[in-house]
């Protein structure tokens, strides 16, 4: 006997077309999403809600008020206490930590943050301060 096809009985395989359903329209087109006429204004940034600041902006504000190096856990606690920022995530300290590191990596000398150092010149692990 020969090999059996992996397709179901009597059905021919259908070529995979990304985001196109049975009606030949994309998912976005079926749901009515997409560009509408007269909609020239760009959408607001995801984190740019009125009256709210981003986690990085809140971290910068907390560090400016503290005047000393803080860990990300301390930054998040103070930001929550003063209602500068809210997060529904399980690990907001990890979110701020990675965001600060990303800013340092991306902006280099123009970044607002820097890793804190101990008096002997070694890095204070997990602590950040504002650049002066």
Q: How high is the pLDDT of residue 104?
A: 94
Residue 121 pLDDT exceeds 80: yes
Q: How high is the pLDDT of residue 47?
A: 47
Q: How far is CA 104 from the centre of its chain?
A: 15
Residue 69 pLDDT exceeds 80: yes
Residue 38 pLDDT exceeds 60: no
The model carries a pTM of: 0.61
The Cβ of residue 60 has, within 10 Å, a number of other Cβ atoms equal to 20
Q: How high is the pLDDT of residue 37?
A: 57
Structure tokens at 116: 């804190």
**Mean pLDDT along residues 47-62:** 79
Question: For residue range 81-112, what is the model confidence (pLDDT) as tens digits?
Answer: 999 999 989 999 999 999 999 999 999 999 99
């Amino acid at each position: 006997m020969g090999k059996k096809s992996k397709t179901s009985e009597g059905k021919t395989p259908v070529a995979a077309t990304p985001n196109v359903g049975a009606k030949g329209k994309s998912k976005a087109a079926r749901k009515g999403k997409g560009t509408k006429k007269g909609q020239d204004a760009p959408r607001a940034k995801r984190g740019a809600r009125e009256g709210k600041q981003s986690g990085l902006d809140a971290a910068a504000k907390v560090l400016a008020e503290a005047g000393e190096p803080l860990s990300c856990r301390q930054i998040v606690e103070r930001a929550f206490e003063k209602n500068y920022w809210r997060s529904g995530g399980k690990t907001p300290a990890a979110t701020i930590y990675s965001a600060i590191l990303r800013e340092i990596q991306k902006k280099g000398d123009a970044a607002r943050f820097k890793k804190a150092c101990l008096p002997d010149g070694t890095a204070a692990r997990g602590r950040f301060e504002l650049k002066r």
